[in-house]
């Protein structure tokens, strides 16, 4: 219960079961969660968290890399099984992140595509979300 409650950034992959109130206080970062039972949605704080399938190529690559890193570091049997049958497991993974964090990432990307350097893009995105001066 209460997993990811104080997560403010970074990446997490959860290959096991989750309890209730998942991501209730999550303010940043991205979690890829294996939802083998199909009940993840009922365990989330839906007011602040977005839930989506892992289908963008950059997300699929990141997930695969993170699981590979986990297997190399721990020898995880579950991780090895998932990598062996990755295309079968992929539809069971969900990407969760706070709505505000998702919006900031979108704005940063928009500013960077306009030619703004990464640090300035982050600052501009922050102020745009907060409604402050830029």
In terms of average pLDDT, the best of 22-31, 65-74, 117-126 is 65-74
- pLDDT at residue 132 greater than cutoff 70: no
Rounded average pLDDT over 5-24:
91
- What is the rounded distance in angstroms from the CA atom of residue 104 to the CA atom of residue 90? 26
pLDDT, one tens digit per residue, over 59-100 is 999 999 999 999 999 999 999 999 999 999 999 999 999 988
- What is the rounded distance in angstroms from the CA atom of residue 12 to the CA atom of residue 35? 14
- What is the rounded distance in angstroms from the CA atom of residue 9 to the CA atom of residue 53? 20
Structure-token pair, residue 5: 């409650």
């Amino acid at each position: 219960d209460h997993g990811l409650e104080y997560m403010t950034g970074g990446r997490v992959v959860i290959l096991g079961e989750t309890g209730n109130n998942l991501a209730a206080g999550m303010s940043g970062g991205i979690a890829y969660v294996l939802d083998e039972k199909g009940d993840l949605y009922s365990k989330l704080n839906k007011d602040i968290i977005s839930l989506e399938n892992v289908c963008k190529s950059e997300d699929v690559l990141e997930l695969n890399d993170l699981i590979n890193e986990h297997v190399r570091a721990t020898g995880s049997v579950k991780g090895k099984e998932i990598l062996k049958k990755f295309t079968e497991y992929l539809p069971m993974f969900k990407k969760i992140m706070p709505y505000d964090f998702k919006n900031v990432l979108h704005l940063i990307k928009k500013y960077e595509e306009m030619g703004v350097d990464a640090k300035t893009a982050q600052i501009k995105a922050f102020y745009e979300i907060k409604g402050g001066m830029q």
